Structure 1
Amino acid sequence: MQNSIKFIFLLFFTTLLSACTGVPDNIQPVNDFELNKYTGTWYEIARLDHSFERGLEGITAQYSVNSDGTVKVINRGYNTSDKKWEQAEGKAKFAGKNDIGHLEVSFFGPFYSSYVIFELDKQNYQYAYITGYNKEYLWFLSRTPTVTKEQLDDFKNTARQYGFKTDELIFVEHEGM
């Protein structure tokens, strides 16, 4: 009896963890992904709201490759209420093949969540559209702190076509940070 309880618990825990590292319905991670081109600094242009970035402006993400092949992730943003910079350091690893834009990222020990790149400027790596394991997570990242109206319109139209709640987007301020 005790072994079956352990098995059920293990099965539940494994299912719970894998649910956080999956890919949302009708989303395909980009292929021919090149991690070395993706490393460096990205500016968050827009996102859907979530608690871990609430109240932050001037948000950037810095990616670099660790010696073991994992990715060092440093997210940084200015807390407008506390009037100070906040930073979170995590690590990411590929969810499968190294040329598919689906990574698992962790900021809390052994717990990982999906980081799915579903649109990417593959020629110059100047913009990326990211989601998590479900469509409650959405980011528009750019190599520059501002983008053109056409780039922003493309992001919103693409996200809307995939079923994201684009009317709830938050646009990140970078000026004066």
Structure 2
Amino acid sequence: MRRNDDRRLALVDAAVEVLARDGARGLTFRAVDAEAGVPKGTASNYFPSRDALLDQVGTHIHVRLAPDPAQVQETLDAPRDRELVVRFMRDILRRVHADRAGYLALLELRLEATRRPELRAGFTETMRAQLEGSIAFHLDSGLPGDRTTVELLYIAMTGLIVESLTLPGVLGDEEALVSALVERAATIAAR
């Protein structure tokens, strides 16, 4: 049977929505089929196992959450200072809120990876590659700070995003927190 790439992508996007809404335990082929609006059995025709589907979701989420390359290039026209780093961090927060399901599905994958070593290995590799890509982008773009700055920003932004998506209202002004975060991370890394 010839497989349709658009349908495969629709199934993976449906799996992201199911993960975000129902958690990893709710991710079944039947739930994905229903979310995608396709006949029962379609997802199982495209993915040989639930693990294969989870692997595809883990890879695709980063595509969904990635910035528009043209917008990144336009942003890089600004001076390479801390304010530019703040703009990039705020853009991350904006994209996460724009695709809330994508990030919640990413959190579900992280939790599922803690319980399943076979998923953890591949997911860790994917996340490590994403972080290394972010570090390389930061350094190659001439943004202020070093590798440690980016790692600190990664850790802090991850926490800010989790708090913002799961318990909105706990934190104060997130925009101001991002500014303070960049300032303090750069100061710590400079020591």
TM-score by length of 1: 0.23
Write 1 or 2 for the structure with the bigger share of helix.
2
Report which structure shows greater RCO (CA 8 Å, sep ≥6): 1
Write 1 or 2 for the structure with the bigger share of strand.
1
